[in-house]
């Protein structure tokens, strides 16, 4: 069945999109006729990424706006930019992230490591969707930070490989479920793109950025009656933690 072509313009923001999976998400969304705001902390790198997309014939579908997701004033500036230029936002892909640690790649490339959280207590809190609140998520994060400072990650059941990265991802995924309950008319999901070759893993992944972007783009294009509040991996709903 041929993909439906929409005549109404749609607008998207992709955070952290000057390279890697975020950049490819921009490319694929723009190729589908979406007007995409490419964002990056570094303005120079952002404009360089924008020029790459324009050279691929996507000039009419991509713009750049500087964004640092941890800077409230930067977030406010992006909101003002979208409001003044487009008047609305249809799609948000929250892609920005950092590794959070220095890695000795020579000694770690033999093992991908686990992004799962062994802690039964943390999994219980984050999987209890009926009782899940921002305060409960914060409680998990505070407990993790306390155990991290005390050097007790392994004994308390926290991941020891990319620990901060893994726990932060689990927290973001949990927040997705909270938002999905709060805004039932929105389609709000989270996705693991798979072990993709990017800077964050020193290009040690097993799939291309084109492959890694496919599921996020698919979810971004969901119809109004599509699934919400789910975690997708390998293009299928999966367990959150």
pLDDT of residue 115: 58
Judge whether 106 lies within some domain: yes
Indicate if the pLDDT at residue 3 is higher than 60: no
Residue among 83, 86, 78 nearest 41 (CA): 78
**Residue whose entry in the numeric block shows the structure tokens 């979208």:** 82
Domain's final residue, options 97, 114, 147 = 97
pLDDT of residue 8: 84
Residue 212 shares a structural domain with residue 228: yes
Residue 116 shares a structural domain with residue 208: yes
pLDDT of residue 44: 98
Residue 107 shares a structural domain with residue 76: no
Residue 144 shares a structural domain with residue 237: yes
What residue numbers bound the domain in which 201 lies?
101-241
d(CA 112, CA 115) in angstroms, rounded, equals 9
Residue 196 shares a structural domain with residue 85: no
| 237, two tokens | 């709903």
Residue 120 shares a structural domain with residue 69: no
Judge whether 2 lies within some domain: no
Angle in degrees, CA 123, 124, 126, rounded to 5: 65
Judge whether 3 lies within some domain: no
- pLDDT tens digit string along 69-85? 999 999 999 999 999 99
Residue 114 shares a structural domain with residue 82: no
Judge whether 1 lies within some domain: no
pTM of the model as a whole: 0.89
Domain's final residue, options 46, 66, 97 = 97
Residue 22 shares a structural domain with residue 111: no
Domain's final residue, options 40, 66, 97 = 97
Pairing of strands 231-233, 236-238: antiparallel
Known catalytic residues? 165
Judge whether 221 lies within some domain: yes
- pLDDT tens digit string along 114-172? 557 899 999 999 999 999 999 999 999 999 999 999 999 999 999 988 899 899 999 99
Residue 113 shares a structural domain with residue 212: yes
Residue 146 shares a structural domain with residue 232: yes
Work out how many domains the chain is built from and give that number.
2
Residue 191 shares a structural domain with residue 146: yes
Assign residue 16 the CATH number of its domain.
3.40.50.720
pLDDT of residue 96: 85
- pLDDT tens digit string along 30-39? 999 999 999 9
Residue 29 shares a structural domain with residue 77: yes
């Amino acid at each position: 069945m041929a993909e439906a072509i929409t005549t109404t313009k749609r607008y998207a923001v992709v955070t952290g999109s000057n390279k890697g999976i975020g950049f490819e998400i921009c490319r694929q969304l723009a190729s589908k006729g979406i007007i995409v705001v490419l964002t990056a902390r570094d303005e120079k790198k952002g404009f360089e990424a924008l020029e790459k997309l324009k050279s691929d014939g996507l000039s009419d579908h991509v713009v750049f706006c500087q964004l640092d997701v941890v800077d409230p004033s930067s977030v406010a500036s992006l909101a003002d930019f979208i409001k003044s230029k487009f008047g609305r936002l249809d799609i948000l892909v929250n892609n920005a992230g950092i590794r959070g640690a220095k890695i000795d790649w020579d000694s770690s490339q033999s093992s991908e490591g686990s992004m799962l959280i062994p802690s039964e207590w943390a999994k219980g809190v984050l999987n209890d969707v009926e009782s899940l609140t921002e305060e409960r998520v914060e409680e998990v994060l505070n407990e993790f930070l306390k155990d991290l400072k005390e050097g007790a990650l392994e004994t308390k059941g926290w991941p020891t490989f990319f620990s901060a990265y893994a726990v932060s991802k689990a927290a973001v995924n949990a927040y997705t479920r909270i938002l999905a309950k709060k805004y039932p008319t929105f389609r709000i999901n989270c996705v693991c793109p798979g072990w993709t070759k990017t800077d964050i893993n020193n290009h040690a992944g097993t799939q291309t950025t084109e492959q890694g972007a496919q599921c996020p783009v698919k979810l971004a294009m969901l119809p109004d009656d599509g699934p919400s509040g789910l975690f997708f991996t390998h293009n299928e709903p999966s367990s959150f933690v």
